[in-house]
Amino acid sequence: MGNGMEALKHLRKAYRMRWKRRRLLYRAFRKRRQLKPVTNRTAQIAADDILVFSTVRNEMVRLPHFLEHYRALGVRHFLMVDNDSDDGTRAFLAQQSDVSLWTTPASYKLSRFGVDWLTWLQRQYAHDHWCLTLDADEILIYPHHDTRPLRALTEWLDSHGRRSFGAMMLDMYPKGPLNAQTYVTGEDPFSILNWFDGGNYMIQRKDDLENLWIQGGPRARQFFADRPKRAPTMSKTPLVKWRRGYAYVSSSHSLLPRMLNHVYDDQGGEKTSGILLHTKFLHTIVEKSAEEKHRQEHFANSELYDTYYDGLTQNPDLWCEGSTKLISWRQLEAMGLMSKGNWV
């Protein structure tokens, strides 16, 4: 009896999730006309190429290093949406021979933070490809990334029947006030942003999508200590072997169908996972925060985040006695922030 009820509940949830996924796909479909192609080089995409999908706005400072990092890992094509940049981002991206670019002036927030646009592009171009969905301030690393290109990882995931790969965001920050050191475009951002919070993360498993909700890090510590529930989500699943019917639910934190969120082991073992080094806290953040506060485009209930933006515009020092200095991926692995699992 109990089992029957349980099964029925399960079915109902599955049905609800199915419709949710369809709604998301339909949203993406309706938003398709917001995208104007600038350069469409998708004809270059070969069958087993690894793709990057990203929505950007005024990211000229970060993009050269971003592209360089992912090219070095073996990404073959970038599909980018420029959300009304005015700092030369569009012209820069249009010149890159491995970038296909669309542009839109429409609202980032109403497009669920760019996800609707990317879902539409992914539906057309990502089917059967391993694809990375990223922001311009996210630099993916994973165990052995210095000796094994992404393709080694994706082939290994394929051979183990995995279609998704988790990589938690790690907020990287400098020692001292955020704008004390000026980042020069194209250089390694982690020569400035070389500190992080090593062990203050709080994890809950979400019942509906079965994903892990990770919070913590310097922002939770500094700006959300009085309301931890509002602290930014750090969990991400950026690498997915895409199928047409897949859809990200909120940013790249969670997906549908739900099995893609099972990037963790719940029987005590460790699955292989990576880290997204977050380059948000370059010196530009101080200025940008004032603008973001004004635009109210980054959070669902933006006004709740006013004090957070105010905090950032005051050019704070995120460093503390307990901060850890970044040395290598092996360090992050040993600290348990990511795991080799059985990929040795």
Partner 1 sequence: MLVHTAFGRAEQIARHWAASGCPIVIHSDKSVPRKTYAAFKAKLSDLPDVRFAKRHRCEWGTWGLVAATQEASQIMLAEFPEVRHVYLSSGSCLPLRPVQELIDYLTERPHTDFIESATTADVPWTMGGLDHERFTLRFPFSWRKNRYLFDRYVALQRLVRFKRRIPNGIVPHMGSQWWCLTRQTLSAILEDPERASYDRYFKKVWIPDESYFQTLARLYSRQIESRSLTLSKFDYQGKPHIFYDDHLQLLRRSDCFVARKIWPFANRLYDAFLTDVSSAMKRTEPNPGKIDRIFAKAVERRTRGRPGLIMQSRFPVEGRENGLTCAQYSVFEGFTDLFENFEAWLSKTTTTRVHGHLFAKERAEFSEGQTVMNGALSDSATLRDYNPQAFLASLIWNTRGERQCFQFGPRDVQDIEWEIAKDHNAQISVITGAWAVPLFKSNRNFSDIRQEAALLQQIESEHLKTLRSPWTKARVRIWSMAEFIEAPMEPLQTIIDEIGQQSLRGLAEVPKMSDLTGFGQFLQNLKNQGMHPYLMGDFPVSHGQGEAPLSQPKPYLVR
Is residue 320 a contact point for partner 1 (CB under 8 A)? yes
Structure tokens at 259: 């099995």
Q: Which stretch binds partner 1 (CB under 8 A): 30-38, 185-193, 271-279, 284-292?
A: 271-279
* Residue 37 is a binding residue for partner 1 (CB under 8 A): no
Element (H, E) at 116: helix 115-125
Comparison of 152 and 286: residue with beta carbon closer to partner 1: 152
Q: State yes or no: residue 266 binds partner 1 (CB under 8 A).
A: yes
What angle separates helix 285-295 from helix 306-313, to the nearest 10 degrees?
Answer: 150
Q: In 101-129, which positions are buried (b, 16+ CB within 10 angstroms) versus exposed (e)?
A: bbbbeeebeebbbbbbbbbbbbbebbeeb
Is residue 147 a contact residue for partner 1 (CB under 8 A)? yes
Q: Spell out, one character per residue from 235 to 264, where the chain touches partner 1: x when CB under 8 A holds, - when not.
A: x---------------------------xx
CA atoms within 13 A on the CB side of 257: 10
- Tell me if 73 contacts partner 1 by CB under 8 A: no
Q: Which is nearer to partner 1, 138 or 292 (CB)?
A: 138
d(C-alpha 203, C-alpha 297), whole Å: 26
Position among 37, 88, 245, 336 found at the interface with partner 1 (CB under 8 A): 336
Residue 221 vs 288, nearer CB to partner 1 = 221
Dist CA 171 CA 197 (whole Å): 8
Closest CA to 318 of 198, 190, 176, 191: 176
Give the whole-angstrom CA distance, residue 123 versus residue 126.
Answer: 6
According to DSSP, the β-strands at 99-103 and 36-39 are antiparallel
Q: Assess 9 for contact with partner 1 (CB under 8 A).
A: no
249 class by beta-carbon count within 10 Å (0-12 exposed, 13-18 middle, 19+ buried): buried
Nearest to residue 173, comparing CAs of 308, 28, 316?
Answer: 316
The reply on whether position 213 binds partner 1 by CB under 8 A is no
Q: Which one of 13, 32, 144, 298 is in contact with partner 1 (CB under 8 A)? A: 144
Interface with partner 1 (CB under 8 A), residue from 3, 97, 182, 267: 267
User: Least CB distance from residue 227 to partner 1, whole Å?
Assistant: 7
Judge residue 3's burial from the number of C-beta atoms within 10 Å of its C-beta, 0-12 exposed, 13-18 middle, 19 or more buried.
Answer: exposed
Shortest Å distance, C-beta 298 to partner 1 = 22
Instruction: Rule CB under 8 A: say whether 230 interacts with partner 1.
Output: no
Q: Exactly one of 149, 176, 257, 316 binds partner 1 (CB under 8 A); which one?
A: 149
The distance of closest approach from Cβ of residue 324 to partner 1 in the complex, given in angstroms and rounded to an integer, is 7
- Residue 48 sits in the site that holds partner 1 (CB under 8 A): no
User: In this chain, which of 37, 186, 245, 322 binds partner 1, going by CB under 8 A?
Assistant: 322
50 binds partner 1, rule: CB under 8 A: no
156 binds partner 1 (CB under 8 A): yes
Q: Which of 227, 244, 294, 325 binds partner 1 (CB under 8 A)?
A: 227
Q: Give the phi and the psi of residue 233 in degrees, each rounded to 5.
A: -80, 130
Cα Rg of the chain, angstroms: 20
User: Does the footprint of partner 1 cover residue 229 (CB under 8 A)?
Assistant: yes
- E strand or H helix that includes residue 241: strand 239-241
CB of 250 to partner 1, least distance (A): 17
Can residue 199 be called a binding residue for partner 1 (CB under 8 A)?
yes
Is residue 271 a contact residue for partner 1 (CB under 8 A)? yes
What are the CA-CA distances from residue 154 to residues 5, 77, 272, 338 (Å)?
Answer: 39, 16, 12, 17
- Give residues in contact with partner 1 (CB under 8 A): 144, 147-149, 151-152, 155-156, 159-160, 166-168, 197-205, 212, 214, 218, 220-221, 225-229, 235, 263-273, 320-324, 336-344
